[in-house]
Every structure is written in C-alpha cells, then in structure tokens.
Amino acid sequence: MKRIILASASPRRREIMTLAGLPFDVIVSDCDEEVSYDGPEDMVRKLSARKAEYVAEKLQKEETEPHLVIGADTVVYFRDQILGKPKDKEDAFRMLTELSGNSHVVYTGVTVIDTATDRTETFCEATKVEFYPVTEEEIRAYIATGDPLDKAGSYGVQGLGAFLVRRIEGDYFTVVGLPIAHLMQILRKY
C-alpha cells in the first residue's frame, strides 16, 4: 500500500487511524475553509476534498513517492443550522444549551486522493445523536474542562462529553470525526 498521509490536525482522527492499525503520517492542511455549499453533506464533502487536495498538491510538488492523502471534515446539523467548532466559551454554551434534550445529525465527509493517479474518492456519513436534557450548571462545568472548545457542536462523544449522549443511530466513528469502516473499504482498493 502507498504511504498514507492524514491531512488533519485532529488528535481524534489520529487515534482512530492508530486503532485501525493503519501506518500513517500527518501533514496538517492549512487551506482556506470558507466554501459555498448546499447543506451540511455538501459542506463536509467540499471541505474534506479541499483539505486533501491542499496536502496532495504540496506532496506532488515536493516528492515523487506516491501517497494516499486523507482529508476529513465534521459538522453538527441542528434545526437547519450547521454547528462547527465554537468561537469561545459562550458560543459553546449556546450550542450545548440548544442541543440539550434534542436530537441532531453529525456529518463527516472524507476524501481520499491517490497522488500517483489523481484518483479521488469522497464520501459522507451521517449519524443521528440524541442528547439527555442537561442543566446550565452541567454545561458550564463541562465547558470549564476545555474539552468542548475544539469540537464541532461543542462536544466530544469519546471523552467527557459522553455524559450528554442518550442514543446514537449510525456509525459512532462518524460522530468522533472519521468513519473508519467506510474508509477502510475504500483503502482496500489501493
């Protein structure tokens, strides 16, 4: 298999790749993340592709060795709003208060680029998440840990934010940020 490059700064995506036993290196994509889009699925598809393309182009300029570059993006979708990472603690509080006692959908888009052939595959997974009702005090205590400040929707299902989640319908790893089973099916082709 070609050398795998994860075009992401996310420690959660790194953990998932490691758990799957995939050898990989990380090159963080510093691309512009402003895109026009038609809904959350379109947004994560475009952003995952942009991240992967940024790193693939960089590698093609610098090296001749072929790579498989993986880009990913995750958003929370609730009441026709896309919730990305919070701007600050108050933004995190707003998001978590809105999500409390309600269901939302997490979308993760993934793009794989083979730098030898420019073959590109992009997919999106969606998973429904239902939250327990939580109090203002519980939300503030969670925010004080710093855990929600770098996560779409202001929570991490794999860590301290697990206390929020009543039920998940779909792929757990989509919520964490990398639907690994689907990704592995694509990587088998290479």
How much is the pLDDT for 1? 67
Domain count of the chain?
A: 1
User: What CA–CA distance (Å, rounded) separates 126 from 174?
Assistant: 7
Give the structural domain span for 154: 3-187
> Taking 80 as the threshold, does the pLDDT of residue 13 lie above it?
yes
How much is the pLDDT for 183? 98
Interval 5-34 mean pLDDT: 93
> Taking 90 as the threshold, does the pLDDT of residue 127 lie above it?
yes
Interval 105-132 mean pLDDT: 97
Residues assigned a catalytic role:
73
Interval 91-120 mean pLDDT: 96
How much is the pLDDT for 47? 96
Interval 159-182 mean pLDDT: 96
The enclosing domain of 29 has a CATH number of 3.90.950.10
175 to 69, 93, 114, 160: CA distances (angstroms): 21, 19, 26, 14
Helix, strand, coil share (%) of the chain residues, nearest 5: 40, 25, 30
Interval 117-133 mean pLDDT: 97
Q: What are phi and psi of 68, to 5 degrees?
A: -110, 115
> Taking 70 as the threshold, does the pLDDT of residue 187 lie above it?
yes
User: What CA–CA distance (Å, rounded) separates 177 from 167?
Assistant: 17
How much is the pLDDT for 72? 97
Cβ burial of 73 (10 Å; 0-12, 13-18, 19+) is buried
Interval 147-170 mean pLDDT: 94
Give me the chain's average pLDDT, please. 94
How much is the pLDDT for 31? 81
User: What CA–CA distance (Å, rounded) separates 8 from 28?
Assistant: 5
- The DSSP bridge partners found for residue 120 are 113
**What percent of the chain lies above the pLDDT cut of 90?**
88
Q: Tens digit of pLDDT for each residue in 50-87?
A: 999 999 999 888 866 889 999 999 999 999 999 989 99
pTM: 0.93
User: What CA–CA distance (Å, rounded) separates 35 from 38?
Assistant: 10
Cβ pair 100, 133 in contact under 8 A: yes
